[in-house]
Amino acid sequence: MEKVILMKRKLILINVDATIFDVVDPIHDAYARLAMESSIPLPASFLKRIVDARGTSREKLDREFPSLSKLHAKARDLYLPQITSKIQEDTILKPDAKAFLTYLHDRGLDYGFVSSMPRELLDAMLQKHDFMRPVLTVVQYEVNEGKPEPDLYLKACRIAGLHPNKVLVIENSVLGVTSAFLANTRVVYLESVFPRNDEEFAYSYQEFASLWEIGDYLDRSFDVQRVSSMHFET
């Protein structure tokens, strides 16, 4: 098996929501349906932040969008069954996710998962896809403050026994990028469904349009020394 030496980063942490698992679409769809039924405007800025919002960030969001805050319980009742159904039907995995995780495993790169989903959902996803071998998993409900506070990534680094500057984070949201930056990790941004904003993503080291591009970056970057020719393949 081909080997690589991780020169500076010892662990890759992946925000699996909308990167590995398709959990964001059901959440957004639930809020869109309820907002339409209630004739409440649904700004993109709300959808950008709702998945990761918890603790202080949820309080700020609710103050900014008080009408939408009333939909939280109903939205949860809608999207949790949809996500559970996607797990059971084996349609939860995002395109290229398996290839990317296999790429990391084959090259000896340790990776961990962070998520804004409840622990039981993340565990169910992992049980369904036994090719996944994260060295650790942390969910947002297990820390005091959600994103953009650094608690989630700081906890992951503590579990791994690594200083944050030894960790590379793959994020796909403004709150996540900010959280990883404040934790002092090296964070890269994976393009999401929302338009890029220069100010919002100023904290990301580099930005990518796909997991394929991140694989190419890892192969050629200063973080990884290639021992032999390697390619990101399905």
Per-residue pLDDT of the chain (234 residues; tens, 9 = 90+): 333 434 466 899 999 998 999 999 999 999 999 999 999 999 988 998 898 888 888 899 999 999 999 999 999 999 999 999 999 999 999 989 999 999 999 888 999 999 999 999 999 999 999 889 999 999 999 998 888 899 999 999 999 999 999 999 999 888 898 999 999 999 998 987 666 666 656 677 788 989 999 998 888 764 444 433 333 343
**pLDDT at position 193:** 64
Burial bucket for residue 115 (CB in 10 Å: 0-12, 13-18, 19+): buried
Check residue 31 and give its pLDDT. Answer: 96
What pLDDT does 197 receive? 65
Q: What is the pLDDT of residue 192?
A: 75
* Predicted local confidence at residue 225, as pLDDT: 47
User: Domains along the chain?
Assistant: 4-22+91-226 (3.40.50.1000), 24-88 (no CATH)
What pLDDT, on the 0 to 100 scale, is given for residue 213?
92
Considering the entire predicted model, what is its pTM?
0.85
pLDDT at residue 230, rounded to an integer: 36
